[in-house]
Amino acid sequence: MSSEHGIVIVGGGLAGARAAEGARAAGYDGPVRIVAGEDAMPYIRPPLSKEFLNGAATRESVDVHPAEWYDEHRVQVLRGIRATGLGLPEHRVRLDDGRHLDYDRLLLATGSAPRHWPGAGADLEGVHVLRTIGDSIALRDLLSPGGRRIVLIGAGWIGLEVAAAARGYGNEVTVVAPEAVPLEAAIGPAAGEVFARLHREHGVDLRMSTKVDGIVGADGRVTGVALEGGEVVPADAVVVGIGAVPLTGLAEEAGIEVDNGVVTDAAFRTSADDVYAVGDVASVFQPFLGEHLRTEHWATAENQGPAAGRSMAGEAVEYDEPPYFYTDQYDLGMEYSGYGPLMAGVEPVFRGDVPGREFIAFWLADHRVVAGMNVNVWDVNEQVQEFIRSRARVDVDRLVDPAIPLEVVLREATA
């Protein structure tokens, strides 16, 4: 398939780069251009709060492709240039340098942006968020000498990963969050307690069920975090990890349907002709769920990107992969697959040694596995996904028995 104006991809992250790769793999021969936004070649974000932040990974290792790949595959990357608007009738993208790009197919891969602290002190020097490679480099430079007092606002994945890196460098770390346990909204209290124990064992001061009144400072620099009730936790730096919002501005201004993300079908097509969306910004229809789902995980970009590229190249695509993500904190490695909407309010059952942090947690609805999390147990996530895709009813007692192989439990499962 070839065309005059080709494919324009707005967003220089993993999803956009993988979409370019997918289009070329599907035989698309027209121009492919990526409006990167940042002054960098497309890179992978999860290491920014994990192995890149803790010093175990190099800058080059987080690039999606080496620079020469883009030349070899005739993919033009416009670095440091942002899209400012869309002209849907004329199939045009306006750029912040005054130019415009015409397209035959447009992919919105704009991702999401971290929520900034909404209250007092947000603009003080020493208050950080983590989203870009520049953010991660600044944090690594701050944390790596050790001996500093670091306060994390938020006990989600980013907050806990930064806390682990900060402790690894020898900093004093406090995490403040309103939930009763870390990750409560993501995986529930029982599984979240595993991470609470992990961080406390490594010396993190967890202030759970605690609200922040504001960030305080002197002479324009942060000095602490004020808690509800009057206590001020001293801080040399504060990292805000309170979630992210999809960058839907371009779509909204153009009149494209948006509902917690740019709404697409299972082939990533939006409500506008020849406009697609993928990754963090996209609310994609999932046939398995029968509803739309937006997820902010590495595997979403990794898997959706190539599928969107194939779809733009003219292939018939119906994306229906279970969400997947991973985390590494201290000596704990974890993989998760599953559907958040189906596990809401459901406590998991555990297979293995929970106190020893070597186990698999399963979330079930009507005896069917809807999500699974393996902690320091490897080479099982594909089986977890098989349970989910099968929709089969399982014997819970046998599922949690480590003496019975998972493949046997799956084979015995009934429709």
138 and 209 both lie in a single domain: yes
The range of the structural domain enclosing residue 151 comes to 116-242
pLDDT surpassing 80 at residue 308: yes
Do the domain assignments include residue 1? no
64 and 137 both lie in a single domain: no
Do the domain assignments include residue 77? yes
Do the domain assignments include residue 156? yes
Angle, nearest 10°, between helix axes 14-25 and 298-312? 40
Q: How far apart are CA 360 and CA 350, in angstroms?
A: 6
232 and 249 both lie in a single domain: no
Q: How confident is the model at residue 264 (pLDDT cuts 50, 70, 90)?
A: very high
Query: Over pLDDT 90: what percentage of the chain?
Result: 96
250 and 268 both lie in a single domain: yes
Q: What CATH number is given to the structural domain containing 55? A: 3.50.50.60
Mean pLDDT for 361-377 is 97
**277, 312, 347: which is the final residue of a domain?**
312
pLDDT surpassing 70 at residue 415: no
Mean pLDDT, the chain, integer: 96
Mean pLDDT for 72-89 is 98
130 and 74 both lie in a single domain: no
124 and 101 both lie in a single domain: no
237 and 269 both lie in a single domain: no
**312, 344, 366: which is the final residue of a domain?**
312
Do the domain assignments include residue 220? yes
Do the domain assignments include residue 320? no
pLDDT surpassing 60 at residue 340: yes
45-62 confidence digits (pLDDT tens): 999 999 999 999 999 999
Quote the pTM value: 0.94
Q: How confident is the model at residue 109 (pLDDT cuts 50, 70, 90)?
A: very high
125-141 confidence digits (pLDDT tens): 999 999 999 999 999 99
Query: Over pLDDT 70: what percentage of the chain?
Result: 99
**222, 242, 262: which is the final residue of a domain?**
242
Mean pLDDT for 269-298 is 96
Q: How confident is the model at residue 345 (pLDDT cuts 50, 70, 90)?
A: confident
Mean pLDDT for 250-267 is 98
Q: Could you give the number of structural domains in the chain?
A: 3
Mean pLDDT for 74-96 is 98
178-210 confidence digits (pLDDT tens): 999 999 999 999 999 999 999 999 999 999 999
101 and 249 both lie in a single domain: yes
127 and 231 both lie in a single domain: yes
Sheet hosting strand 205-207, strand order edge to edge:
127-128, 237-240, 149-153, 172-176, 205-207
pLDDT at 86: 98
Q: What CATH number is given to the structural domain containing 354? A: 3.30.390.30
131 and 229 both lie in a single domain: yes
pLDDT surpassing 70 at residue 1: no
Alpha-carbon separation of residue 97 from 56, 78, 91 (angstroms) = 37, 11, 18
E strand or H helix at 352, and its extent? strand 349-353
pLDDT at 3: 63
Do the domain assignments include residue 325? no
Residue owning tokens 């990357």: 77
- Residue 257 burial class via C-beta count within 10 angstroms: exposed 0-12, middle 13-18, buried 19 and up: middle
Mean pLDDT for 145-152 is 98
pLDDT at 297: 87
158 and 229 both lie in a single domain: yes
Alpha-carbon separation of residue 81 from 36, 94, 326 (angstroms) = 6, 10, 31
pLDDT at 343: 87
Do the domain assignments include residue 318? no
pLDDT surpassing 80 at residue 296: yes
Three-state SS across 364-409? EECCEEEEEEEECCCCCHHHHHHHHHHCCECCHHHHCCCCCCHHHH
